[in-house]
Structure 1
């Protein structure tokens, strides 16, 4: 039997039980992928992050309860938070090497963590009628897609009031559905639904902001943006578009640490 360390942190928040929880598992060496997937399913959180130290940073992978994901912001922030606060990492910047998203960095400035991620501009598409029906029938004013469907609505109230049919959305051929609108007290708001990945509603989604930031930077003609993801747990992000990269800044708080036996 192998013993592994495990931590859990709430990301993009300074309040316990806010933001988005992620599990973080430091490894001395990689364990089999099926075992990582089983651990993620057992944790039953939006993502579980696994990392292994290398000579120039850390190799990092993320798993939903259903599959390995190509990019995850909140679990990257949570991993950095655990390295800085629990595991004695002493440098101001962490380099995470990933298989599908290249090298990602996280910089610490007091209690604020800044993620440097790839920008993912969206492309215009036609929205399947099944998605409209699953979102209650309200038609978005603009529809796009990259990895996820990206739907723009008239108001924050449109986004906040949605009560999706998650069973219907689970059959959609996409990782998730981003819904967004201009914010009342911030630049923009969003929500993210991914029942096909085992997550009905993701509380705060860094990867979605790789789409949201370039879109809203263009619409609002500004490169620095303030955003809220208005899930029940709610998360806050300070965002910046820098060419083909996006910066997302937020806080995190540790919830637990322990051991698992596999």
Structure 2
């Protein structure tokens, strides 16, 4: 019988039951992808992060991968932040910055004062294009033009104000037909610089509570529009989340807090 440790942490919040819950599963070595996907489905959270130590002398400390209940994804902010919290506060990682190797290149998370953790993520390019008809049907508030982020397979829809973001009720069945593409909706915030919501039903997430990775494109967009490199953000899901963002050249710094929920063991009777 094999047992594996598992932790659950709420990311981008200072209180349990807020932010976005992520499962974190440290491994000694990689298990078959099919098994990783089954465990992510069983965990039934928007993401499960798996990590394996990198060899001594590598440019990273750990190799990290993220699975939704339906698919592996190339980048995930909240589960990376949750993973760093587990390493710092449960597994006694000694340094103040942990380095990850990932499908989206090198990532880092640094401990800051007040319990904040700061993600070092890529600055993702975006391009304007005509709104796909399917997206227009699913979200009638979408205008004639949207932005597409090819490196993270998302559409970004910019709305007029926070109230429009809160009131949006996209047709999730139609959004699912977009395939692997997710949909970000965003607008200027009333008590912060910008707000957002995120939908990606095709991979098992109708609405993600808080999504760190989409701020890799939201931050450069709003920094350019508002003329500032430091920005405050909120994600307006039912659980809600608070993020502090900073544009830093070809990188984006995304900071948030985390709240520990539980730890346990996964039992696998026939896995070696």
TM-score (norm 1): 0.97
Alignment check: 8 A CA contact 1:149 1:174 kept: no
Report how far residue 175 of structure 1 moved.
2.8
| In 1: Cα distance, 2:180 partner to 2:160 partner | 23
- May I ask how many residue pairs the two structures share in their alignment? 260
Report how far residue 141 of structure 1 moved.
6.9
User: Paired residue for 2:266?
Assistant: 260
SS at match of 1:201: coil
| In 2: Cα distance, 1:200 partner to 1:92 partner | 35
TM-score (norm 2): 0.93
2:176 to 167, 170, 177: 170
Does residue 1:103 correspond to 2:106, yes or no? Answer: yes
SS at match of 2:69: coil
Alignment check: 8 A CA contact 2:131 2:144 kept: no
Does residue 1:154 correspond to 2:157, yes or no? Answer: no
| In 1: Cα distance, 2:173 partner to 2:190 partner | 31
Give a deviation string over 1:135-166, Cα, whole Å, max 9, x none: 2x223375110120010000101100012221
SS at match of 1:22: strand
Does residue 1:251 correspond to 2:269, yes or no? Answer: no
Deviates more, 1:164-173 or 1:201-210: 164-173
Report how far residue 132 of structure 1 moved.
2.1
2:238 to 232, 236, 243: 232
Does residue 1:42 correspond to 2:45, yes or no? Answer: no
Structure 2: unaligned runs, 5 residues or longer: none
| In 1: Cα distance, 2:180 partner to 2:93 partner | 36
Across the aligned residues of Structure 1 and Structure 2, the Cα RMSD in angstroms comes to 1.1
| In 2: Cα distance, 1:230 partner to 1:93 partner | 29
| In 2: Cα distance, 1:173 partner to 1:51 partner | 27
Task: Note closer, same or farther for the CA distance 1:174–1:145 as it changes in structure 2 (3 Å cut).
Answer: farther
Does residue 1:3 correspond to 2:6, yes or no? Answer: no
| In 2: Cα distance, 1:189 partner to 1:233 partner | 14
Report how far residue 127 of structure 1 moved.
1.1
| In 2: Cα distance, 1:94 partner to 1:140 partner | 41
Does residue 1:196 correspond to 2:202, yes or no? Answer: yes
